[in-house]
Each structure stands twice: as C-alpha cells, then as structure tokens.
Chains A and B, each alone.
Chain A
Amino acid sequence: MEKTILDVQNLRIRYGGSTTEAVRGVSFTLGRERLGIVGESGSGKSTVGRALLRLLPGATITADMLRFDDVDLLSLSEKEMLKIRGRRMSMILQDPKFSLNPIRRVGDQVAETYLRHFQCSRREAHEKAVAMLEAVKIRDAERVFKQYPHEISGGMGQRVMIAMMLLADPDLVIADEPTSALDVTVRLQVLTILDGLVRDRGIGLIMISHDLNLVRNFCDRVLIMYAGKVVETLKAGDLDQARHPYTQGLLAAQPRIGGTRQPLAVLDRKPEWLEENA
C-alpha cells in the first residue's frame, strides 16, 4: 500500500453521561483507497467517522494513536482543528434536506468552503464553486448556484454537498451514508460521480454505510463493525467469503433479486461476539 493517510490504533469513545463505550478499541489504517465501514445502526460506525473530525462535543475520545498524515488529531486545539476540518478532511452527510442551510443559496454555501480556507476574492470563490458544481455533473451550474435548497431535488442536493466537501481538495473524505436518502437510479449516479472524483484526485475515502451492496461495489476494503468493535476486515470483492458469523448473517439476511423466496436467515446474535476482536 502507498503512503498511509490515517492511522487509528485502539480508538475508544464514550459519550458523556454513558457508562459504556460506544466504540471499544477500533484500529485501522487508510491509504489512498476507499474503505467501507458497515454495521447495523448503533454499531458505532458513524461515531468513528465523527470522532476523526472531532465532531463529538461532550464525548471522551482516547486512542493509542490517532494520526492524520503528519498531525496527531488528539493533541490539536480546536483552533488548529478548524484549519483541518473542511480543508484537509471533510465529511459528506446523509440527508441533504437537513444538512444544507435552508435560508442560504446553495452556491454561497459551496463557495464558503473556499472563502474560508483560501485567501481569495468573492469572485474567485464563485468561479471555483461553479466549476465544482459542473464537476459533479450539475447542468446549468450558474442557475443552480442561485437556488435555495428547497428548490433542488435530493439527488442534486447530495451532489451539491459533494461539491462543497471536495472544493478545498481534501486528502480524506468521510461519507456517512451518502446515498441512503436517494432513489436507486439517482443513487448510482451520485456514487459514480463521487467515485470518479475520489479516484481522479487521489483522495482517501471512508464510506460509512449499512448497505452491503454499496460497499461491495464502491469500496476496496471493508471493516465490519458490531457493538463498537471491528469483527472482520475484508477486501470488498471477498465479501462473500466472510468468515465471521455476524458478517455471514448480514449477507444471508439480505433478500436478493432472483432469490429462492424462502424465509430469510435471521441473525442469531452470540454474546461472545461482544468480546472478540479482529
């Protein structure tokens, strides 16, 4: 593997007021590749993503190592973190309806990324934003620039979000369920655009999802999380050869096109899964 962008060792996260840890010793490294994190709701996958950007106020984050490129994320002050967040590391959120500001034009929101992180004129930021909107295949970008979030569709909103997050040319993008709010046909378009940009620019991508088909098709490597731990790490292409019973259970629980229509396998959760570590 090429240069490591992110090195996480024994990451533990405890939310304020909670007696148990939401994430219990997660370790992984990331190069310029596409890494999927899958698991059920409550398995701690989004918590990991948010911890990397230090977006968990009130939570206690500890780790033996939490290194992004050459910086130690745990020792940074909030002021220093501001220079990294959105500039070198950014996050695409699930639902454009809730994550875009409803009372600001979408173009201004995209341009803000550039204005904040680079010394430039408004006009230059505007041009950059329009070019980026075109790069995410939005037709008539000048018109969309002036629209408000309620005037654009969900698929377009998600592309605006991708444009916003890639504008500063980050080294690492964390996509948290980037397409689960979208229809299948639109979902594929959005994923293909994201995939193309990430490859062209050599960005490291962490794709957080509950959807096994998505990570199978759009990631290189997959971590499977259960109850705050990584139970298995697989190459995306080898997902069907999963050895851990939890991963096998998730795969078997999925209805498939052309399947037998027999009752689906149901997960039998074993208490010992809580203790293992991959």
Chain B
Amino acid sequence: MSVSVEVRNLSISFGAGASAVKVLPGVSFSVERGECFGLVGESGSGKSTVLRCVSLLTDFWKGEVLIDGRSVRDMPLIERCRTLQMVFQDPYGSLHPRQSVRTVLNEPLVIHKLGDREERIRRAITDVGLPVSFLDRFPHQLSGGQRQRVAIARALILEPSLLLLDEPTSALDVSVQAEILNLLQRLRNERGFTYIMVTHDLAVVDHMCDRFAVMLRGEVTEILPHEAIAVNGASHPYARELIGASLEYEGIR
C-alpha cells in the first residue's frame, strides 16, 4: 500500500517569451516507501508548485516524476488518482460550499465506479474521527478543523498510496493542528502511506517527517534528516539561517 517517489530534474516556467519566469530550475529528490518527506522554504520558493507538478494539476513541466519506477505521465488518469491524492492548505476554500459532506465523499466513488458506497463513506468519515451524523452537514456547519478532516477523508476514500499535503494545518489553531497531525500520523502507522508534506513550520517537520528538503528560489538547497533541526546540522547558509530562525523563534537558542 505504499509507493516510492522519485523526482528527477523537474523544471517549470510560467509565462512565455521574454517575460517567462523559471519557477523551478531543476528539482530532484527521492522519497522512499512509507516515508514522510517535508518540503520547507519561504513563500514563493516553489514548494507547492512541486506538489502540483507531481499530481499533474500543473502538467507543462519538464523532467521526470516516477512513482514506484513508473512515470506519472504514463499512468492513466483513473489509476493516477487512485495512487495519489492531495490535501490543500485552506479548508475554507477547498470544499464546495453547496455540497454536503456525503456528496463530497460520494463523488470520487462514482467517478471510480466503486461499490459499497455507503459503507466506504461511513468508514472514511469514521477514520478521520468525525461522527457519521456529520455526513449531512454542509461546509458552513463545520469548524476549520472539521473541514480539514473532511478534506482528508475525501483524499482517503480512494485508498491512495501517496498523500500530497500542502500546508495541511497552517490555517488552524494549535489545538486543532494537534488533532490533525495525530490523525495523519495514526493513518500512516496503520496504512503505511507515503507523505510529501509542504509546510513552513519546522516544529511540524521535526514532529512528522523523516527527512526534509529546504527550498530556495525553486531549488533544493539541501536534504536533511529531521534530527538535524534541533542541532542545526545544515551546511547550506540559507538552510542554516532558516533553521536558526526557527530555533530562535521557539526560544531554543
């Protein structure tokens, strides 16, 4: 139930001609089966763009993305969506305001022609720790944390092997963040998911990830194990600065 991911020389430019902006000049990293891999860096460094490229939400990139050795481009759409799913940053923007939770969870099942729909929907909502009675609620009847759980349930209902998490907790309070992080950790222990997680919070990286890449202006400056954060074991100056700032901010000097 888990896959490895290999990103080789991924590059992308937005715009055309003289005004084209090279957002990713050539990103390479690999994620092992069942690993939680973090992507950190300042805003505009291309972290989210990497996820959008891996999931083919943006498809005009060059380079290679291999999932278990197979290029994502060679996967048929249906198979790709069953292999990888994405959870977006803002649970206020990523759920359709006029669809009930049941409709949100039912749609992927219809598209993928899966049976036992009611059973699967109930299991998905229970897995993320929400009561079954919530199925008939609409997004405006849910809190931010509950919405993010629904977004995670929507990603899980297709039983993917790879979850792409784009700042899954940055719109939430610490108390709610703790619930979501625990949920993600529990699901990973139970099902052996591979996670690629974009975040700007190094405390979250240290808590969740095995390894992480520090990005600067579209380039991966350094890939480090999570243990390197507490001792600031980075060698690239920017990575050192970022980790140093986070340590200072946490009051660990």
Contact = CB atoms under 8 A, between A and B. Distances in A.
Interface of A: 40-41, 154, 183-188, 210, 212-214, 216-217, 249-250, 253-259, 261, 263-267
A255 B206 contact: yes
Interface of B: 42-43, 144, 173-179, 181-182, 185-186, 200-204, 206-208, 229-230, 241-242, 245-252
A185 B206 contact: no
A212 B251 CA distance: 11
Given A213-B249, A265-B178, 16 more contacts: A183-B42, A184-B246, A185-B42, A188-B245, A188-B249, A213-B250, A213-B251, A216-B251, A217-B249, A253-B175, A253-B177, A255-B177, A256-B203, A257-B230, A259-B203, A261-B208
Contacts of B241: 185
Interface SS majority for chain B: helix
Contact of B144 (A41, A250, A265): A41
A257 B178 contact: no
A37 B245 CA distance: 23
Contacts of A214: 249
B175 A187 contact: no
Given A257-B246, A259-B207, A183 B174 contact: no
Contacts of A259: 203, 206-207
30 contacts: A40-B174, A41-B144, A41-B173, A154-B43, A183-B42, A183-B43, A183-B200, A184-B242, A184-B245, A184-B246, A185-B245, A187-B245, A188-B245, A188-B249, A217-B249, A217-B251, A250-B175, A255-B177, A255-B181, A256-B203, A257-B203, A257-B229, A257-B250, A257-B252, A258-B230, A263-B185, A264-B178, A264-B182, A267-B175, A267-B178
Given A264-B178, A265-B178, A255 B250 contact: no
Contacts of B176: 40
A254 B178 CA distance: 7
Contacts, number: 93
B250 A40 contact: no
A253 B145 CA distance: 14
B182 to A, nearest CB: 5
B230 A40 contact: no
A39 to B, nearest CB: 9
A118 to B, nearest CB: 37
A217 B8 CA distance: 41
Contacts of B203: 254-257, 259
Contacts of A187: 245, 249
A20 to B, nearest CB: 17
A186 B42 contact: yes
A140 to B, nearest CB: 21
A259 B181 CA distance: 14
A266 B182 contact: yes
Chain A CB count within 10 A is highest, among B174, B178, B250, for B174
